[in-house]
Structure 1
Amino acid sequence: MKVTLEKVHGSMNTFYMVEGLERNDYAELAMQLCDRDTSVDGLLVILPSQTAHAKIRVFNRDGSEASMCGNGLRCVARYVCEKEGIREAVIETMKADLKVKKEETLTDGIEMYSVEISPISFRLEDLPMEYAELEEMILQPISEISEEILFSAVAVPNPHLIGIVPEEIQKDSTHQHFWAEKFNGQNAYFADGVNVSYVTKLEQGIFVRTFERGVGFTNACGTAMTASALISCIAGIVPFGEVTVYNPGGMVKCTVTETAGAYQLLLTGNATRISSHEYQWEKESQESDFLSSRKFEEQQQYEKFINGISGIVDQFA
């Protein structure tokens, strides 16, 4: 079967994207594509919705399905808004229908979209996580890891374990890699694995590096950056409001507000089209292949943007 794909990214969290109908083998397509192109983190599937403008399903490199993807949602938001000729839409995700909006394009032609990140839960059972019979973990050490690093667990709705670390630990990813792999293998804490992010305060905001469940280290994870901004606000590292979040793939803005004890999260960043492709998709991987490809010029503009903030990002490379 021939399918049309777009290769897209938000903060260099890169995906193939396809529009289609519900079927039970998109995980196989995701693994096929990721096997052929190691630069991508997974597959975004755009489907019809009974409750929203469209529905998104997200498949990781290993074929597992994520509840949501903030960077991918921005790319789907752009696709839907441009197709429908609108500036705002609602996209159905696994846990909630979320508002998305086209924002002002950056001066160098980078298309920007904001997406709602919800629902939010601090209950460990919602990750799920089991630790010391706790119901929540907010800014607490995990003694097996470190008495100095304060960890927080939050589902948005993807499960995240977020540690606030000094520069020296952020610059060397060995520590994070060891514990992230442990928590995504056989372990007593996270039955379904977890996204592990390390956060470091910057003069201009925060820097976040994420080991993503089902992917590994990624250039950026939208829900992780937003959850990290939330925890950083709660910890007093940055004030509530708009938080600048740097990552290995670039930079986004996360807006964190609190109303009557409830938090609202908004993620704003690029939605960049890299290329379009015709792909022959067969059940047997060896019979599948790319038939044609066409590059867009948007990536060149994004790389110019990255060069402008490289001094901040490179210090943690």
Structure 2
Amino acid sequence: MQIEFIKCHGSGNDFIMIDEMTKNYSFTEQQRKDLSILLCNRQEGIGSDGILFVMPSEKAEARMRMFNSDGTEAEMCGNGLRCVARYVIEKLRKTEVAIETEKAVLASSQVAEIYPGIDTFSVAIEPVSFEASSLPMTVKEEQVVDQVIPELSNERTFTALSVPNPHIISIMDEVLQDELLHVGKKANNLPAVFPKGVNVSFVKILEKNKIFVQTYERGVGLTNACGTAMSASSLVSTMLGPNELDTPIVVINKGGLVNCVVKKTDERYSIQLRGNGTYVYKSVVDVNFDDKEFQVHEKTFFNEENEKYQQLEGYALSQIGGESS
């Protein structure tokens, strides 16, 4: 099968995006899983954190399904949703669209630039729940807010929430990558506590309304950025830290930066995630599903927007300084 694709990223969280809205592709569920494992492999494949399938929808302008590099499907993907939003907005020549995801239909739009020269897209991150059962997380308490999870660590406290992906967030003075890797792996090998796995994020408050976030992403591992994790971390930073509701929170990550706006209405939270949806290159791949083989054709790079994003990335790295190791 010959498949057109765009290699893209949101905050360095990179994806292979495949258009099923206008292309006559017909994938089985097994083929979606096989494609993810085959093409996302960074040693032998194209290399990415996952595949975004942009599909027709009866509820919205488009539907998004995201498969991780291990072949599992995520409930949602904030960084990927921005890439899909850009694609659909440009395809339909609109400024606002709705995208259907597994748990909700989410509003998406093009908004003011978060950094000079970077086209910026805002996506809604919801529904938000602090009920442990929504992750799911097996504990005696109905909610886990700034509490020790003994099975993971007796030194760190975590807040658990779904957005709708499952997350546990720990705010700390210094983000240690080795510790995050250890805790992330441990959490995703605890089916008695997290039967469907969980995303683990460490957060450092840089200053008021500015944080640094790094995430161990379920099904992927350590990532440059995770959109729903940055959104969840921003929310937790308004509850346990100095950050404000209804105010853009600058979220620095290893792949760049985003803005998150946390809102609260009638005791219910919602989050707007604003950031890039950058195209790296476009190409075509020939896939033989029977033999698990593929061949990538010539790549056409989007050089100008990649150069602009490198400037944003450099700025973000200068903000991190020596805050993570």
> Which residue number in structure 1 is paired with residue 244 of structure 2?
239
Deviation by residue 1:106-131 (Cα, 9 ceiling, x = unmatched)? 66421110000011111111111112
Shift of 1:42: 0.6
Three-state SS of the structure 1 residue aligned to 2:181 is helix
User: Which residue of 48, 59, 75 maps to 1:51?
Assistant: 59
> Which residue number in structure 2 is paired with residue 154 of structure 1?
161
Three-state SS of the structure 2 residue aligned to 1:303 is helix
Shift of 1:310: 2.0
> Which residue number in structure 2 is paired with residue 75 of structure 1?
83
User: Which residue of 36, 40, 43 maps to 2:48?
Assistant: 40
Please state if 1:90 is matched with 2:94.
no
For residues 82 and 151 of structure 1, do their structure 2 counterparts lie closer, same or farther at Cα, with a shift above 3 Å needed? same
- Percent identical pairs in the alignment equals 40
Amino acid at match of 2:126: S
- Provide the alpha-carbon RMSD of the alignment: 1.6
Contact 2:284–2:298 at 8 Å: present in 1 too? Answer: yes
Distance in structure 1 (CA, Å) of the matches to 2:130 and 2:101: 20
> Which residue number in structure 2 is paired with residue 8 of structure 1?
8
Consecutive unaligned residues of structure 1, counting only runs of 5 or more, are: none
Amino acid at match of 1:17: M
> Which residue number in structure 2 is paired with residue 216 of structure 1?
221
Distance in structure 2 (CA, Å) of the matches to 1:38 and 1:295: 14
Output the TM-score relative to the length of structure 2: 0.92
Amino acid at match of 2:157: L
Contact 1:279–1:292 at 8 Å: present in 2 too? Answer: no
- The within-5 A match list for 1:92-241 is 92-105=100-113, 108-131=116-139, 133-167=140-174, 170=175, 172-203=176-207, 205-240=210-245, 241=247
Contact 2:135–2:167 at 8 Å: present in 1 too? Answer: yes
Contact 2:114–2:258 at 8 Å: present in 1 too? Answer: no
Please state if 1:282 is matched with 2:278.
no
Consecutive unaligned residues of structure 2, counting only runs of 5 or more, are: none
For residues 16 and 305 of structure 1, do their structure 2 counterparts lie closer, same or farther at Cα, with a shift above 3 Å needed? same
Contact 2:254–2:317 at 8 Å: present in 1 too? Answer: no
- The within-5 A match list for 1:253-268 is 253-268=259-274
Distance in structure 2 (CA, Å) of the matches to 1:56 and 1:5: 15
Three-state SS of the structure 2 residue aligned to 1:90 is strand
> Which residue number in structure 2 is paired with residue 312 of structure 1?
319
Amino acid at match of 1:234: M
For residues 157 and 106 of structure 1, do their structure 2 counterparts lie closer, same or farther at Cα, with a shift above 3 Å needed? closer
Output the TM-score relative to the length of structure 1: 0.94
Deviation by residue 1:249-306 (Cα, 9 ceiling, x = unmatched)? 1110000011221112100001100000110022035531112211111111100111
Deviation by residue 1:81-117 (Cα, 9 ceiling, x = unmatched)? 0000000000000000000000124664211100000
> Which residue number in structure 1 is paired with residue 69 of structure 2?
61
Task: Work out the number of aligned pairs and report it.
Answer: 313
Distance in structure 2 (CA, Å) of the matches to 1:272 and 1:105: 13
